[in-house]
Amino acid sequence: MPNHILPITPVRQSRLSNVDFDNLEFGNVFADHMFSCEYSAGRWHDARIVPYGPVSMEPGALCLHYGQTVFEGLKAFKGVDGISRVFRPDKNADRLGQSCERLCIPAIDKELFCSAIDQLIAVDEKWMPSRRGESLYIRPLIFATESNLLVKPADRYLFLIITAPVKEYFSRQGGGVSLRAEPKYTRAAMGGTGFAKTGGNYAATLRPGADSVEQGFDQTLWLDGRDHSFVEEVGQMNIFFRIRDAFVTPPLKGTILPGVTRDSVLTLLEDRGEKYEERPISMEEVIATYNKGELQEVFGAGTAAVIAPVSRIAYGDTTLTFDVEPDNLASKRLYDSIVDIQTGAVEDIHGWNRIVGASQTAGKTMTGS
C-alpha cells in the first residue's frame, strides 16, 4: 500500500466514451481525474484526486508574470500481461526536484510524487491505450499561485498531475525526423535554466521552432549559446550520433535537459558492451564524419518520441541525409528494447518500471464533484 492514501472525488459522468482510441493524437484529450496538492504556510497539504477541470487563479499570480513554474513528462503503459507500469517515475521525481530547486519552488516528497501517480492511474486505468507505441502520458506541473507583482519566489503553489492517452509524438511511418540547425536563436546558456524543465525554456523555442516548420523541417537542432557551432539537443529530445563503432551524445553541463530516455539509452548501450562517449560535438565534426562515410546514423531520444531516427540535417547551405529504413539501425534496436521493457515483454533487469496494482488504488472516496 502506498504511504499516501489520497481522498478521491469521482467524476459524475466519465468522458471516456467520447474518446476515439483508434485515432489518438498527442496531448489533446485528458482523462477524467487529476491529482491536486496545495502549498501555503510553509507546507504542502490537501493532496487529493479530483475531477479534471479548470483551476481558479488570480490575474496577479506570480507564475503568469515571472514564469515560476516547472513540470515533468513520463508515461504509463498497459503491459502485454495486462499489468500497468509507469516507466522510471523515480528519475522524473529527481529531475522535478532539481527544477524546483532552480526555480525556488518548495520540494515535493518523492514518495508522494510516485504514490500520487499510482493512485491517479488506478482511478483512470481504463483511459490507458493498449496498442504498442501508445501510452497514458503523465504531466506533473507546479506553478506559483500567490498574487503579487514583486519579483520574488511565491509563498503559495499548486501541484497538479494530469494524464492523457496518446500516440507517439512522431509517426514511425514518416521516414524519420528532419532537423534545421538554428544559427541565430539560443535555447539555453551556461548558468541559466537549460537543465530545468520549466515553461520559459519552451517558450523560447516557439519562434525558431515555427521557423523550422515553415522551412519544411520537423524540429530545430539546438546549438551552443556562445558560437552556435556545438550540438546540444533537438526540440523535445536529446540527440545521439553513431560515428564508426561508437555513439556520441553531448555532455550534461547545465544547458541540456538530463533526459530519462537519454539515461536509459546509455544504460542499454553499456549493457551490450557498445562504446559511447558523452562529449562536445561540433557541426564541423558532424559534417566531416558524414563526408568520410563514418557517420552511420543520428537519432533523438525523449519521453514523448522514445527513439526517433533523423533523416535530414540542414546547417547553413549544407544538408546531410540519412537512410532510416534499414532494419539494422541501432535506433530501431534501442526503440524496441525500451518499449519491450515498458510493456513487460522482456525482463526489467534494472527495475525501471513501477507496477500499478489494484492494491494501490483506493483512497477514501468522497461524494460529488
Q: 331 in a domain, yes or no? A: no
Task: Check whether residue 140 and residue 285 sit in a common domain.
Answer: no
1 falls within a domain: no
**How many other β-carbons are positioned within 10 Å of the β-carbon of residue 28?**
8
64 and 90 co-located in one domain: yes
For the question of whether the overall pTM of this predicted structure is more than 0.85, the answer is: yes
pLDDT of 111: 95
Residues across the chain: 369
43 Cβ contact partners less than 8 Å away, ≥ 6 residues apart: none
Pairing of strands 219-223, 33-40: unpaired
Q: Identify whether residues 255 and 209 lie together within a single domain.
A: yes
Based on the fold, state whether residues 292 and 218 are members of the same structural domain: yes
Is there a domain that residue 240 lies in?
yes
CATH number for the domain spanning 289: value is: 3.20.10.10
SS3 186: coil
Q: Has residue 3 been placed in a domain? A: no
Total domains in the fold of the chain: 2
Same domain, 163 and 186: no
Is 195 in the same domain as 234?
yes
Residues 308 and 184 in one domain: yes
Low-confidence ranges of the chain (pLDDT < 70): 1-3, 171-174, 357-369
- Sequence-separated (6 or more) residues with CB below 8 Å from residue 119: 2, 5, 6, 8, 35, 49, 360, 361, 362, 363
Q: Are residues 153 and 195 in the same domain?
A: no
In-domain check, residue 365: no
The answer on 151 and 23 residing in a single domain is yes
Instruction: Determine the pLDDT at residue 3.
Output: 60
pLDDT of residue 163: 98
Amino acid sitting at position 113: F
In a domain, 163, yes or no: yes
206 by DSSP, 3-state: which? helix
- pLDDT value at position 360? 44
Q: What is the pLDDT of residues 183-203, one digit of tens each?
A: 999 999 999 999 999 999 999
Q: Within this chain, do residues 40 and 80 fall inside the same structural domain, yes or no?
A: yes
**Domain for residue 297, yes or no?**
yes
Q: Which domain holds residue 144?
A: 16-171+349-360
Dihedral angle over CA of 216, 220, 224, 228, nearest 10: 10
Same domain, 219 and 316: yes
| 123 lies in the same domain as 269 | no
The CATH number of whichever domain residue 67 belongs to comes to 3.30.470.10
Tell me if 4 is assigned to some domain. Answer: no
